[in-house]
Amino acid sequence: MKVRVHVSLKNGVLDPQGRAIQHSLEGLGFSGVSDVRAGRLIELEVDDSVTDQALDEMCRKLLANMVIENYRVERVAA
């Protein structure tokens, strides 16, 4: 089974990369983009036996840095 882990910066954490992307979009002539936040998508291929709790632990222990990031786990039907 495929699992997608979406990692994003917490609200209030400044995202210099997002800001640079926003400026680049403006430079390309796209208007109306008021904010950009860059995150990370991690795809895992896991056995069906891997529990939600184990996935949660993977996120907390490694995939996300809980000081600055949030995560969301999404199981994707094969």
Partner 1 sequence: MSGFRSAVVTFPGSNCDRDMAVALEKVSGSAPFRVWHGDAELPERLDFIALPGGFSYGDYLRSGAMAARSPIMRAVIEAAGRGVPVLGVCNGFQVLTEAGLLPGALMRNAGIRFVCREVPLIVENSQSLFTSGYDRGQRIVVPVAHHDGNYFADAATLDRLEGEGRVAFRYAEEVNGSARAIAGVLNDTGNVLGMMPHPERAIEPAHGGTDGRALFESAVKGLVGA
- Which residues make up the interface to partner 1 (CB under 8 A)? 13-14, 16-17, 20, 61-63, 65, 67-68
- CB-wise, 27 or 77, nearer to partner 1? 27
Smallest distance, Å, CB 17 to partner 1? Answer: 6
Other beta carbons within 10 Å of 51: 10
Q: Identify the helix (H) or strand (E) that includes residue 2.
A: strand 2-9
- CB-wise, 24 or 51, nearer to partner 1? 24
Smallest distance, Å, CB 70 to partner 1? Answer: 13
Alpha-carbon distance of 50 to 44, in angstroms, equals: 11
- CB-wise, 19 or 75, nearer to partner 1? 19
Q: Tell which residue, 3, 68, 2, 73, has the closest CA to residue 38.
A: 68
